[in-house]
């Protein structure tokens, strides 16, 4: 039987964080420098990840996304991708989310190992603004990574921009133009309370509706599907037939928890059922105590059953999780 939570949602997407370290210092994630990193010995090894991934796939997981931190900080990621690719065809998709800083060096090996898709973080198209947002002067490296991903045949190539009022909301149309010109899928994400400084302010949230309206005012959009199912983004094509795609991810103003199909595994082996969970299930501890396969399955099923109906960002009693996005895995 597939993994199903208490609200009859089937879990088919697993996001695995490979490291909590990152070589960027984005203000919406790590504004105050380096937090207390997980100790090396707490990180799950590739052999442990291969074993756990096999169990998850046997329970119905169809997609695995490798995240971080910045996953390519971890050594030999193509080796892990090759291990995961052995789970195909039951595993239908292996994806990677990266800031693109070091992607060029690993791109061909990742493709050969079996990586299907890649998503880049791209929070500005203006070099000075990019450096201010990320703390790194690396826009040209990211753009080169996107270009290489397309040439190597990764499809679709996506770019994520976290839109924050007063920082990059004036670039929405430029991002859309970039998507049209380069034929990529551009994803716009609302600013979420996952920063290490806990300085998130609702006034800085640019709503998904605002984003759509501003882009559509210049480039009319057509909604691809009336029902997005378990997808996080509302997807749009350009009405004039230009290549590229626009996606709007609005977890704050247009909550999509009702059909959530995702579960997360942190780099130090904690199962999280939601980005905003305040509790975790320690899979690492059980995994390293010589359990039977059935005991691990039981732990996973129990964690999934405890998945909450929704997040509580908009509730007065909302408590921001202690871990930032860098620790949780995007």
Taken in order of first residue, the domains within the chain and their CATH numbers are 13-328 (3.20.20.70)
When computed from its CA atoms, the radius of gyration of the chain, rounded to whole angstroms, is 19
Mean pLDDT of all residues in 200-221: 93
Is residue 5 over pLDDT 80? yes
Mean pLDDT of all residues in 291-315: 86
Q: What is the pLDDT of residues 138-172, one digit of tens each?
A: 999 999 999 999 999 999 999 999 999 999 999 99
Place of tokens 């270009």: 147
Label residue 196 by pLDDT band (50, 70, 90). Answer: low
pLDDT, averaged across the chain:
90
Q: What is the pLDDT of residues 33-91, one digit of tens each?
A: 555 567 889 999 999 999 999 999 999 999 999 998 899 999 999 999 999 999 999 99
Predicted local distance difference test score (pLDDT) of residue 200: 65
Which residue in 8, 129, 5, 142 sits closest to 70, CA to CA? 142
The beta strand positions in 148-299, using DSSP E, are: 157-163, 185-190, 221-223, 234-238, 245-249, 262-265, 270-272, 281-282
pLDDT cut 70: percent of the chain above it: 87
Mean pLDDT of all residues in 211-222: 98
List 156's β-bridge partners, or say none: none
pTM: 0.92
Give the Å distances, CA to CA, from 198 to 63, 70, 174, 325, 328. 31, 21, 29, 12, 15
Label residue 275 by pLDDT band (50, 70, 90). Answer: confident
Label residue 31 by pLDDT band (50, 70, 90). Answer: low
Label residue 137 by pLDDT band (50, 70, 90). Answer: very high
Predicted local distance difference test score (pLDDT) of residue 287: 97
The backbone torsions φ and ψ at residue 149, rounded to the nearest 5 degrees and listed phi first, read -60, -40
């Amino acid at each position: 039987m597939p993994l199903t939570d208490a609200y009859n949602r089937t879990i088919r997407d697993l996001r695995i964080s490979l490291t909590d370290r990152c070589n960027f210092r984005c203000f919406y994630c790590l504004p105050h420098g380096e937090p207390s990193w997980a100790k090396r010995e707490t990180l799950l090894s590739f052999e442990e990840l291969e074993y756990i991934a096999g169990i998850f796939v046997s329970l119905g997981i169809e997609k695995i996304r490798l995240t971080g931190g910045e996953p390519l900080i971890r050594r030999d990621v193509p080796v892990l991708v090759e291990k995961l690719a052995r789970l195909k065809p039951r595993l239908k998709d292996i994806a990677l989310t990266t800031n693109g800083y070091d992607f060029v060096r690993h791109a061909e090996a990742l493709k050969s190992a079996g990586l299907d898709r890649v998503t880049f973080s791209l929070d500005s198209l203006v070099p000075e603004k990019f450096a201010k947002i990320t703390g790194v002067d690396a826009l040209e490296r990211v753009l080169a990574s996107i270009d290489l991903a397309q040439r190597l045949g990764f499809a679709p190539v996506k770019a994520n921009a976290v839109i924050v009022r007063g920082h990059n909301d004036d670039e929405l149309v430029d991002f859309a133009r970039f998507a049209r010109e380069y034929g990529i899928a551009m994803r716009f994400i609302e600013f979420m309370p996952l920063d290490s400084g806990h300085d998130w302010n609702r006034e800085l949230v640019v709503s998904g509706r605002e984003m759509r309206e501003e882009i559509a005012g210049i480039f009319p959009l057509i909604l691809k599907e009336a029902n997005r199912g378990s997808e996080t983004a509302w997807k749009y094509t350009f009405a004039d037939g230009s290549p590229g795609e626009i996606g709007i991810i609005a977890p704050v103003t247009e909550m999509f928890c009702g059909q959530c199909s995702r579960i997360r595994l942190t780099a130090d082996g904690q199962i999280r059922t939601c980005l905003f969970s305040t509790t975790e299930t320690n899979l690492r501890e059980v995994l390293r105590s010589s359990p039977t396969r059935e005991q691990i399955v039981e732990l996973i099923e129990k964690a999934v059953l405890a998945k909450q109906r929704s997040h509580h960002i908009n509730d007065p009693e909302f408590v921001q999780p202690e871990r930032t996005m860098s620790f949780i895995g995007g």
